[in-house]
Chains A and B, each alone.
Chain A
Amino acid sequence: MSKTIYPKTRVDALWQKVPWLLLTLLFVVCTSEQSMAQTLRVEGVITSSTGETMPGVNVLIKGTTTGTASDVDGNYSLSVPSSESVLVFSFIGYVTKEVTVGNASTLNVVMEEDLASLSEVIVVGYGTQERAKVTGAISSVGAEDISALPVTNLAASLQGRAAGVAVTNTGSPGTDPIVRIRGIGTVGNNDPLYVIDGMPAGGLNQINPADIESVEILKDASTAAIYGSRGANGVILVTTKKGKVGKPMVSLDAYYGSQKAWKTLDLLNKNQYLAFGTELLENANQPLPARFGDLGEFANVETDWQEEMFRTAPIQDYNLSVAGGTENAIYNFSLGYFAQDGIMRGTDFERVSLRSNSEFKVNKRVKVGETLTIAYSNRNNEPFSGGRSQLEHIVKSVPYIPVYDDTRLGGFRATDRVDGSDPENPVLNATLRENNNQDYKILGSAYVNVNILDGLNYRFLVGLDVALGNTFQYTPSFNAGDFSVSTFAAISQTRSTFVSPLFSNQFTYTKDIGKHHFDLLAVLERQTSTFSSLTGSGQNSLTNDVRELQGVENQTTTSSKTEYALISYVGRVNYDYAQKYLFSASIRRDGGSRFGPDNKWGTFPSVSLGWRVSQEGFMQGLTALSDLKLRASYGETGNDRIGDYVYQATLNSNLFYNFDGSLLSGSTITALANADLKWETTKMKNIGIDLGFWSDKFTLSFEWFENTTEDMILGVPIPHSLGYDGAPVANVGTVKNDGVEFTLGYQLNAGDFSLVLDGNMGFVNNELISLGTGNTIFGPSFQGDAMTLTEEGQPIAYFYGWIADGLFQSGENTSMQPNAAAGDIKFRDINEDGVIDANDRTNLGHYLPDFTYGLNAKANFKGFDFTMFWQGVSGNEIFNNLRYHTEGMTRLFNASTVVLDRWTPSNTDTDVPRAINSDPNRNSRASSRFVEDGSYLRLKNISLGYSFGADKLSNWSKGHVSGVRVYVSAQNLVTITDYSGYDPEIGVRTGINSSLGMGIDYGQFPAARTFLGGIQVSF
């Protein structure tokens, strides 16, 4: 695991100064009278190992209560009784130092950072906390790891970095990865909550990963319950880079790389296609397409559609930042540009982002600050036409059809009637059809911090998340073949606006009474959001040149608006005794607009305990054991991720019927409402152990958790006989996720050589405990077969279907399957009743891996740095539905070379069934035939860099350049998997019940294999 180290001086320098100044004054007052009796006076400057002066360092004469603290410039001055006196210098996060005074009157001290876990301060909900005092389950990922990978979206960079956090990347540029924290807690929405600099917000594609200082992932109730009704799926806290005191530091980072699909499939070539197609049709007594007899103008064409669609695509990223500050103001400005062309034609993503973070100290008690991102992104998406993905068109395209034909309107060629097959030309789709999103994002917060009394602070934070979107979809008129004709240009434009303000009042109080330490928090806040959109569309049959809605026919306009509100009251107590015994409790009360009148309010408590055993006196003999902490927590979190207004029964008035040419509108109720809808509640238990050995050279964390989600929200699939089109959203059942997580760390420092190894591994079990409706829940269906089933006692949404048990051979009895013949698949008679029917469907596997893991190695030798990052999942299955198209042999299209091994009377030793058009035995039904092992291990990243130190650069840079690092890296260089599809990382089709269709491969983009080179320069 990677951690960000926050020395107190950097993060909370100003925060720290105020009380310590006061304390210093206090000491000065208290000690003045005693000074008369003193014989020796000692003074000096306290600095850190990096040379910065350190204010607020506690200086104590050993064995007494007499002492002082350093001032803002790190100076201290103290009278001591004798030259034998020993001064104890202590500062949180630093190794405590003892110095005998001796004869020196000036004693300058250099404090060493304590690299043990105690020194870390990590971000938690509504504040920060020393890692040593954390009693919950938090994973931290630092800036270096986030920027290591060339990704659009910061969530993608979390993959493999934290135990229990499963990230599935999808290959298309600018598409959101799927993030699941500790399994799937619901059949509804499983996305975690993202909180960016204190502001719950979405739209991660507009956040520049280079601006991120750290990401904290809150996994258990003691950390996530403070986010109440939005915390059940875990919370991801994103902290952007702030300035720090010092002269302006300018840095420039840039990389440029080249991406290529790591894998393509083996598809039939022209001759193989013709032979396959002939057999497919002849077996079904169908006439052959006329073109089969004479290819004519296409006789010499051999198109590799994958070659045409997958390309070598550039990726580039440039970041310029300036950070610095004085005691009264710190700042960080950055400008970023990122551009990625997709490895598949027609897809790309581009982002320009600007960030400004600053904080000002108005006076001793008041600070104001702000964070702001303004970003623009432009994304071209894969066009979906005829409801089919481009990958589906690619694998189905006929190899003797040329891509281009200049003589045709639009310049492309597709099949004709005489070809007997009608895939769309995917290059045409990628080139002529546009599916473009332009998004503008303004995400910012402004706050004022008032130190009311010693230890009592008030923070008022106003956050604003604004997202403006333009969607442009355009298809020109073209004529590429008999079935690939568009007689008009279709234009559709959507403008959307999302505005979400947050007002938050936060009170914190810190108090030490002897060894008792208290941190109290109270928050009162309100977040609202309004989303509105306006869509216009029309057709232009006169020209392809006008792409605006001017002079169009069949013009339509629709608009919609939704509003959301959440009012919250939060309280938290953190207590520790001598940093040894730790206690934390929090409670949040949320009122939300998405639920019915009787269920608007929910209360989410949590409690946790910790014991730092290694701090006990009886442990001091065990020198090898540098850290031992036990933790336990319990709490409740909620999930409100449903649509707005779903509890309200409403009319659908978007229905029309033309009575003899007069268009009249109709209204009816198309969705079953549920006024009793309430929060989904997850009860989370967590037990953790942290271990450190040999001054934390070796660290180990272990977590056990059990999350039980009650009143799980589900869009309940209803029988068609009810006549509704919308599934009612209801609280239907209980699901349990339990598992363990390990995090291991090792560091070695040997002269010029250093090595850091981080590994993590997460195991999770998922089980549906009960389903209130008494029903089983069937997942998405394909060709009439439900592909998943959810039932009590099983993991959510396991793959469901028949078991393929080999092929019928000639002469074999096929009476169990009346439509079967030799060469067809024999399905297993699960209930042994002599017929194969719906009762013979069974569990075919599950998409949740047995475990996920990541391993990161970093080594440094002199100026060289090397990192290697492996990530994998194991023990999951994938429903490879793309094989319906590549191997299903249901209709005349191109296919995978797998079909070359199809059953024929002379090729009987195979598991590939016969080719017969229309598939009478339904060999391509949902069955084990298409369910595969989805395990993989991937070398996500490997990189080698070299840094030129300032000393080496000074000759020519005259001191203007303080550091240069150059590096080369490769992503996805190695993938070890048996999965036969394009990629084992499977995305999901969206929708409220998308969790019921996880792990189904409808045609997954292959991951990009990227080679890139970069340079980082600081001035």
Chain B
Amino acid sequence: MLSAGLVACDEEILNPVNPNQLGTETFYKTGPQLVAAVNAVYAGLQANNLYNREYFFLQDLLSDDNQSGGAQLEAPRAQVLNHVFDASNPLVEANWRGWYRIIHRANLVLENASQATDDITEDLRNRVIGEAYFLRGLAYYELSTLWGGVPLMTVSAVSPEGSPRSSQEESFDQAKNDLNEAISRLPLKSAYSGSDVGRATKGAAQAVAAKLALFRGDYAGAKAFLSEIINSGQYDLTARYSDNFEEENENNIESVWEIQFSEDFGANGGWNADGTDIAEVTFRGQEYGPNAWRNVIPGENLVNAFETTPKEDPRKGFSFYRLGDTFNAGASVLDESSVQGDNSKPSWKKYQTIYKRANENTQSGINFRVIRYADVLLMMAEAENETSGPAAALPYLNRTRNRADVMMPPYPTAQYPTGTKEQTRIAIQHERQVELGGEQVRNRDIRRWRRAGFLQSEPIAVYAERYNLLPLPTAELDNNSALTNADQNPGY
């Protein structure tokens, strides 16, 4: 009967401490913990939902940069490409979810940053807050430009209840305010070294802010951001165009904002939707590769856009592989049997790893150069053209053509005169298309120009009015108590 006492005395066993994970109340107390908190936001960018896979697919399939590589393109992707998708589309849902994950994690940094007291300088705190604002602003830029008005989450949720949609203007403003906060706090790119390289910079925040301003038609506003970037002395074009798409020369002089990937840490985690574990690789090479899955290939509009006189634009050869091209560091030749689908058409070369090896796999380590200085210059050309006219635009517009290994004749050319603002717009649109093809830029460019009425003709043959905005994912409407199907964008 003594054993009876043994059994029940110690009720402390009912209050176990989780040995695997830290409690929230003990975190966010030191500088390194705050840095870890913001690192987790970056980790979300590598999720399968975003740059590991679904981000580049959604952007590229919505634009005319791509066409189907053949029967192997999965149905939900083909539905986006063919513009026959609805609110249940998994790509749309994945991207939505991926960006809100970024927002949530950034909110945690912002609401806890003031708690850190140990091992922290005010400069570091300021930088981390700036990084979080940048990442949240980037997410709201992505969401508001594609979905229109979205639920605005500015603090981390404490209950399962959702928030209602705000208007598109409010969502734009949220992105703008976040980016302004970031610009005021973030350092210049040159301030980073070692394991801080790749963090958000003032220039990156200014570049996203400029993209947002352009999207809203605020050309003067965009110009202000862009000129600060250009005048910062932090950036230049690389001499070699392909340095922007290969595994070497990452985070180079031309890089404004990059998503980091690496093969050095193994292939695990690539399928993780949320970016947990060591998930440092992207499927991009395998998905598009000429001798890999080749799910998509360059679209006809893009292939035909490259100038042929007085010479063929060298960027065409830098962007695409054709049968007969060498790869694998010159050791292999692309032949018919190694390319599936209609192999008379070109395949992607940008962001492919076979320039230096025989085969792609699902673990490419090539960084996504999300914003390059070339993009900044061309945005400046656009802003100048709209505010001051062609003469002010041309110096910026011709920079990319003057790259050492491009050397295309400067505008105006016979094909692209720049006598008027309207003519210059067409030249700018052309230059962006060929310079930035396959870099997930075209989708939003088309939307922006469509919005402004700048398009000569609709570039997406299968476009229909309802696709002006993406549908709110069915899963969001289903589970968000503040939304009903009446909140859906028109036409879905």
Chain B residues whose C-beta falls within 8 Å of the C-beta of A567 in the assembled complex: 7-8, 11, 13-14
B276: A residues at CB distance < 8 A: 652, 654-655, 670, 725
Q: Judge whether B476 is part of the interface by a CB distance below 8 angstroms.
A: yes
* Complex-state Cα separation, A560 to B101, whole angstroms: 25
Q: Which residues of A contact B264 (CB under 8 A)?
A: 658, 661, 663
User: A651 an interface residue at 8 Å Cβ cutoff?
Assistant: yes
With known contacts A593-B13, A645-B16, A656-B43, A920–B79 Cβ distance under 8 A: yes
Q: Does B4 lie within 8 Å of A505, measured CB to CB?
A: yes
Decide yes or no whether A272 CB sits under 8 A from chain B. no
CB of A262 within 8 Å of the partner chain: no
Q: Is the CB of A417 within 8 A of B78?
A: no
Contact assessment for B157 and A648 in the assembled complex, using a CB-CB cutoff below 8 Å: no
Query: Which has the most chain A C-beta neighbours within 10 Å: B68, B71, B79?
Result: B71
Q: Number of A interface residues, CB 8 Å?
A: 112
For B55-88 the 0/1 string (1 means CB < 8 A from A) is 0000000000000101111111011001010111
Contacts of B293 in A (CB 8 A): 422, 483
Determine the distance from Cα of A891 to Cα of B195 in the docked complex, in whole angstroms.
44
Known pairs A656-B278, A659-B198, A722-B104; A918 contacts B75 (CB<8 A): yes
Given contacts A460-B3, A591-B14, A658-B260, contact A724 B104 (CB under 8 A): yes
Interface residues of A in 563-612 (CB under 8 A from B): 563-565, 567, 569, 591-593, 597, 600
Report the Cα distance A88→B199, complex, angstroms.
Answer: 95
Q: Let me know if A725 and B274 touch, CB within 8 A.
A: yes
Given A458-B1, A560-B20, A719-B479, the answer on whether A725 and B101 have CB atoms closer than 8 Å is yes
Which residues of A sit under 8 angstroms from B199, Cβ to Cβ?
659
Nearest CB in chain A to that of B481: its residue? A775
The CA of A776 and the CA of B75, in the complex, are separated in Å by 29
**What CA separation (Å) do A645 and B150 show in the bound complex?**
33
Give A483-538 interface residues, CB cut-off 8 Å to B.
Answer: 483, 485, 487, 503-505, 524-526, 528, 537
- CB-defined interface of B278-298 with A at 8 Å, one 1/0 digit per residue? 111000000000010110000
B22 at the interface (CB under 8 A from A): yes
Known: A556-B278, A653-B22, A839-B485. A728 touches B6 (CB 8 A): no
| A-side contacts of B96, CB under 8 Å | 720-721
A431 in the interface (beta carbon within 8 A) = no
Q: Given A505-B4, A665-B39, is A649 in contact with B24 using a C-beta cutoff of 8 Å?
A: yes
Closest chain-A Cβ to B93's Cβ sits at a distance in Å of 6
Rounded to whole angstroms, the CA-CA distance of A565 and B16 in the bound complex is 9
B4 touches A537 (CB 8 A): no
List chain B residues, Cβ under 8 A from A925: 88
With A and B bound together, what is the CA distance between A720 and B477 in angstroms? 10
User: Is residue B304 contacting chain A, with contact meaning CB distance below 8 A?
Assistant: no
- Contact (A838, B474) CB under 8 Å given A719-B479, A917-B78: yes
CB-defined contacts of A920 to chain B, threshold 8 Å: 79, 82, 84
**Which residue among A661, A718, A723 has the maximum number of chain B CB atoms within 10 Å of its CB?**
A723
Known A-B contacts A663-B280, A667-B33; the reply to A672 vs B27 at CB < 8 A is no
Chain A residue nearest to B109 in the complex (CB) = A668
**Segment touching B, from A10-18, A196-204, A783-791:** A783-791
- Among B3, B21, B339, find the residue whose CB has the most chain A CB atoms closer than 10 A: B21
Instruction: Judge if B419 is at the interface, Cβ distance under 8 Å.
Output: no
Interface size class of B (residues with CB under 8 A): 35 or more
Residues of B within 8 A of A722 (CB): 100, 104, 153, 157, 160, 162
Residues of B within 8 A of A565 (CB): 13-14, 16
Contact B36 A667 (CB under 8 A): yes
A718 and B160 contact, Cβ closer than 8 Å, known pairs A556-B278, A561-B19: yes
For chain B residues 92-140, which have a beta carbon within 8 Å of chain A?
92-93, 96-97, 100-105, 107-108
Specify the chain B residue showing the minimal Cβ separation from A485: B359
What residue of chain B has the Cβ atom nearest to residue A522's Cβ? B4
A residues 653-681 touching B (CB-CB < 8 Å)? 653-670, 672-673
Chain A nearest Cβ from B72, distance in angstroms: 6
Is A774 an interface position by the 8 A CB rule? yes
The answer to whether A668 and B151 touch across the interface, beta carbons within 8 angstroms, is: no
CB distance from A331 to the nearest CB of B (A): 25
Give the residue of B18, B82, B361, B473 whose beta carbon is less than 8 angstroms from that of A650. Answer: B18
Find the A residue at minimum CB distance from B73: A918
Residues A662 and B278 in contact, CB atoms below 8 Å apart = no
Pick from A652, A673, A718, A730: contact of B479, CB under 8 Å: A718
From B265-273, B324-332, B382-390, the one touching the partner chain is B265-273
Instruction: Specify which chain A residues have a CB less than 8 angstroms from the CB of B456 in the assembled complex.
Output: none
Cα(A721)–Cα(B93), bound, Å: 11
In the assembled complex, the Cα of A25 lies from the Cα of B10 at a distance in Å of 45
In the bound complex, residues from chain B placing their C-beta under 8 Å from that of A422 are: 72, 293
Q: Return the contact of A505 from the options B7, B42, B70, B342 (Cβ within 8 A).
A: B7
Q: Which 10 A-B pairs have the closest CB atoms?
A: A723-B104, A417-B340, A554-B266, A666-B40, A918-B78, A784-B88, A666-B39, A662-B195, A668-B40, A719-B480
- Additional A-B contact list (15), CB under 8 Å, known A554-B268, A659-B42: A487-B361, A526-B8, A554-B266, A592-B14, A650-B18, A656-B39, A658-B280, A660-B194, A660-B260, A724-B157, A773-B160, A778-B479, A838-B485, A917-B71, A918-B75
Sampled A-B contacts (7; CB under 8 Å): A286-B68, A417-B341, A556-B278, A657-B260, A657-B280, A660-B197, A662-B194
Residues on B lying within 8 angstroms of A by beta carbon are 1, 3-4, 6-8, 11, 13-16, 18-25, 27, 33, 35-46, 68, 70-76, 78-79, 82, 84, 86-90, 92-93, 96-97, 100-105, 107-108, 150-151, 153, 156-163, 194-199, 250-251, 260-262, 264-268, 271, 273-280, 291, 293-294, 336-342, 359, 361, 464, 473-481, 483, 485, 488, 492
| A residues apposed to B, CB below 8 Å | 277, 280-281, 284, 286-287, 289-290, 387, 416-422, 458, 460, 482-483, 485, 487, 503-505, 524-526, 528, 537, 539, 553-554, 556, 560-565, 567, 569, 591-593, 597, 600, 644-645, 648-670, 672-673, 716-725, 728, 730, 773-776, 778, 781, 783-786, 818-819, 837-839, 890-892, 917-922, 924-925
